[in-house]
Structure 1
Amino acid sequence: MKTASVAAHVVMKYITRFFLARNTILALILSALSAMLTASFVPQAFLLSPAGRAKWHADYPRLAPLAESLGLTHIYTHPLFALILLLSVLSLSFSCREQIRLALLRTFGDAAGVEGDGVVTALDVAGVSALLAGEGYRPVLRGAANRMVRHPWGYWGNVLFHAGVLVVIVSSLWIALTQQRGSVDLGEGETFGPGREWPTQELGLLARPFVLDRGVRLDRVEYEFLPSHGVKRVASELTFFDSAAPAASRGVAVNEPLDYEGLRIYQRLEFGHAFYITVTTPDGERSLVQLLLAHPDKPDAASYADYPDRLGKNKMLRVKYFTDAEKRSLNHENPLLVLRLDQSGTELGQLSLTPGKEGTIGGYGFRLEKTGRWSSLTFVKLSGIPGIFAGFFIICLGGALHYFTPPREAMVHPLPGGGARIFWKASRFPEFYREEFESLTARLTGENTDG
């Protein structure tokens, strides 16, 4: 039993030394920074629209597939990133324990190494202690020599700083493991029902499937453009409803996320026009097809999209549209839709449509029933965000204690022939507090002279 206890102690000592080693801490910091830097350069899949992903693959045909195969497009939900955070938590835990040990020693220990500027006074230990107490020094040790400290809580600044960082990292790890994100594109009047599967979602390693417990309807999409045709504002009006509560209407806009019933909803920059087309096949079958096309960048520029196999094998439906059929303005909406049907790479024909118009291509009939607007929304469910803010508060408190309340120590030793010798030092910024020591010296020696 004793041998096992000794072995456990040795192993624990080795683990502690490993996690407190400078090389270990540096490696963890560099690993975390490298992961975040990679995420800033490699597009994260959840933030990419289908068109954006296609463009990324077109621009980087070799890099994009490699990055996806390595999981670099899912950095924050990757097991390796979670492992880095977990090891950082262990390292900070050992570091916090060490900082607590040192703070306790400095606060309540004998501090045998308290050596600094010294002064001899005719006052006895009790008299010196009373004078120091009047200056805010608190006795922390009584014995052969009295040790007194001003602002002893300053010893705990490093403890709070490390504890705050630990809280932030633990909260970040919890978020990475349990986060739930879902993204959906909706046309005006369209509802995303409760329990419906997300077209795009991303889950933490320990997260349950992300399912909405209420429906959400996109009532209206609003957007504005700058004179230079840049996007000025994108906003959506939403209605939430379920069987247990009355419907609730809320608004969300770019840079103005919506918090609702534990969800955080973001308005994405993807938006445009939704086209509802009745398609009639050569066999006479009819169906209503919704096409969501991204908004053009300029009045005379078109927005493009391809729909492979939408109308059957080897058939490609190519679509483009202009916001204004006259190509004069982005604000004046009179959408012009142009359809092109290819079969095995051969063009079968083109057709231009405005609302209410119809035509045929290659035996297929197309009628543009109506148009509307659409936008892209991201729903996020996170637990752990309050821990991030709490951690930063603790970090700030620790920094304030460390820099604004540095302890000053005085060790009072009795002299054999009477009187006392006082050793004084400031734990940090000694030159800044030099006047304090000189003031104490003047009072101590002044009382000696008067006596």
Structure 2
Amino acid sequence: LYQSGWYITLLFLFAANTLVCTFTRLSPKLKKAVNPNIQVEKKNLIGLKIHGQFKIKGDYSHIKNNLLIILSQSRFKTREKEEKNQTFLHARKKTLGFFGSDFVHLGIIIILLGGILSGITGVRFNLVISEGETHPIPGADFQIRLDKFTTEYYPNGNVKDWKSNLTVIDNQKDMLSRTIEVNHPLSYKGYVFYQSSYGFNWNNPSISMEISSKGPNVSQDVFTFSIGETIKLSDGITEIKAVYFVPDFVIDENKKVASRSNQPNNPAVFIEGYQGDERIFSGWFFAKFPDFSQMHSREENPFTIELKNVKGSEYSGLQIAKDPGVNFIWTGSSVLMLGLLLAFYWPPKEIKFILTQTKDGADVLAGGLTTKNRDAFRDEFEHIMRSSRSGK
């Protein structure tokens, strides 16, 4: 899905659309941030919801400088423009808050570019590997070896964790060894190795059988051997061969023996007994349900056979991924979060003043603008106006 042509095309179109919208909105914001309109008309300030006006006596230059100091103490950056007997002041702080939404859009674009890059050049595949095996990694110049695989269980028998001891072989040298488990992968040269599953390799399991002879010379022996292997019993003439094994015995709809799963839920072995070239008995033997074991023979069988244990080697299931776009995605996510923080918690604040010189002082008119939390900004605005009016 994520590497299909139509999906990558949708990502590209989404990124292109977001990019166009961002640049369309960004130009007036940059102009407003870099070159704000300092000179305004009185009616525009009076029309603002947050505005104020007062007269103050004193030296005009001192009044203006005192206002600049008060604004600086409140961390406002100011610009001014003189015209005849008027001074236009523009005070602003948290200017970066204007661009919160643009940072969000930029983060989305970077994430989409990462998705496109991952879809075009990324790889993801599964690898089944047994202990001691070494496998080359497709598309890479190194190999991976499974040194040991461990399955940990809870007291109730459920699987708790899988752990694989992996070694990276690069240029015929062991470069890196690490134990991986679920949510703790191994990374090497852009490839990430995840522990995803486990299973049993039943191609050549080891079986243990307890075989007892009947009659006056009773003997009891435990034999351990493999599927396809033949062993000779204590009478010196009878041989037993393990012919076939299934880990989860079931009779299918066609009345044939099959395995319900790859798990050893009902392990069973088909055994044949020979004396010379003559087969004297055969049957299925069950490890977990020995009473269901059946032996077919022409004559009474002189042996009692019980399947004690079956052991197959465990394999580790690895998911291997190379995702060159993941760094873009993390970077884009960080930029997106920065944009959200700016948009919600860093609102720009702006106050415009018109100082008109009079014979004995100045008339001060001011109006304030913000995008968030207007009540708190109103309190700050009124504090600045009171400080300016009192000359403190």
**TM-score scaled by length of structure 2:** 0.66
Counterparts of residues 1-40 of structure 1 (less than 5 Å): none
Root-mean-square deviation (CA), in Å?
Answer: 3.8
Unaligned runs of 5+ in 2: 205-225, 230-244, 272-281, 288-309
Structure 1 segments of 4+ aligned residues over 6 angstroms from their partners: 277-280, 303-306, 320-325
Deviation readout 1:335-355 (Å, 9 max, x if unpaired):
x44469xxxxxxxx975599x
- Choose which of 94, 108, 129 in structure 1 pairs with 2:68: 129
Which has more helix, going by share of residues?
1
Indicate conservation of the 8 Å contact 1:274/1:374, yes or no.
Answer: no
Q: Amino acid of the residue matched to residue 116 of structure 2? A: L
Contact 1:303–1:322 under 8 Å retained in 2: no
Distance in 1, matches of 2:14 and 2:100, equals 20
CA pair 268-317 structure 1, distance change in 2 beyond 3 A: farther
Identify the structure with bigger relative contact order (alpha carbons < 8 Å, sequence gap 6+): 2
| Deviation readout 1:57-113 (Å, 9 max, x if unpaired) | xxxxxxxxxxxxxxxxxx212222212211111122123213422421331221756
Q: Quote the residue 2:103 is aligned against.
A: 160
Q: Say whether the 8 Å CA contact 2:246–2:269 is kept in structure 1.
A: no
> Is the aligned partner of 1:224 residue 2:152?
yes
User: How far off is 1:232 after superposition?
Assistant: 0.7
Q: Residue 8 of structure 2 aligns with which residue?
A: 82
Q: Deviations for 1:283-314, whole angstroms, at most 9, x for unmatched residues?
A: xxxxxxxx997xxxxxxxx37899xxxxxxxx
Cα deviation digits, residues 198-244 of structure 1 (max 9, x gap):
xxxxxxxxxxxx42322222222211222443221111122322435
Check conservation: 2:124, 2:320, Cα contact below 8 A. Answer: yes
**How many correspondences in the alignment?**
305
The code of the aligned residue for 2:3 comes to T
Deviation at 1:250, TM superposition (A): 2.2
Distance 1:439 1:159, change over 3 A: same
What is the one-letter code of the residue matched to 1:265? F
Query: Of the candidates 47, 54, 67, which is equivalent to residue 120 of structure 1?
Result: 54
For the structure 1 residues 305 and 93, does the alpha-carbon distance in structure 2 shift closer, same or farther, using more than 3 Å as the test? farther
Partner Cα separation in structure 2 for residue 350 and residue 322 of structure 1:
22
TM-score, normalised via structure 1 length: 0.58
User: C-alpha separation between the residues in 1 aligned to 2:249 and 2:270?
Assistant: 12
Change in 2 beyond 3 A, CA 1:422/1:185: same
Distance 1:236 1:221 in 2: 5
- CA offsets 1:386-414 (integer angstroms, 9 cap, x no match): 22222222222222323333222111223
Conservation of the 8 A alpha-carbon contact between 2:147 and 2:167: yes
Letter in 1 for 2:338: L
Question: Do the aligned residues in 2 keep the contact of 1:320 with 1:339 (CA within 8 Å)?
Answer: no
- Aligned partner of residue 142 in structure 1, secondary structure: strand
SS at match of 1:93: helix
Could you tell me whether the CA contact under 8 Å between 1:317 and 1:339 is conserved in 2? no
Alignment of 1:155-304 (within 5 A): 155-193=98-136, 210-246=138-174, 248-276=176-204, 302=248
The aligned counterpart of 1:9 is none
Residues 135-164 of structure 1 deviation map (CA, whole Å, 9 limit, x = unaligned): 222124635522221222222222222212
Rg bigger for which structure? 2
Task: For 2:286 and 2:131, locate their aligned partners in 1 and report how far apart those are by CA, in whole Å.
Answer: 20
Matched, 1:95 2:21: yes
What residue number does 1:430 align with?
A: 374
In the alignment, the residues of structure 2 paired with residue 90 and residue 149 of structure 1 have an alpha-carbon distance, to the nearest angstrom, of 33
Identity %: 19
What residue in structure 1 maps to residue 77 of structure 2?
138
Unaligned 5+ residue runs, structure 1? 1-74, 195-209, 281-290, 294-301, 307-315, 328-335, 341-348, 355-368
- 8 Å contact 1:163–1:394 — kept in the other structure? yes
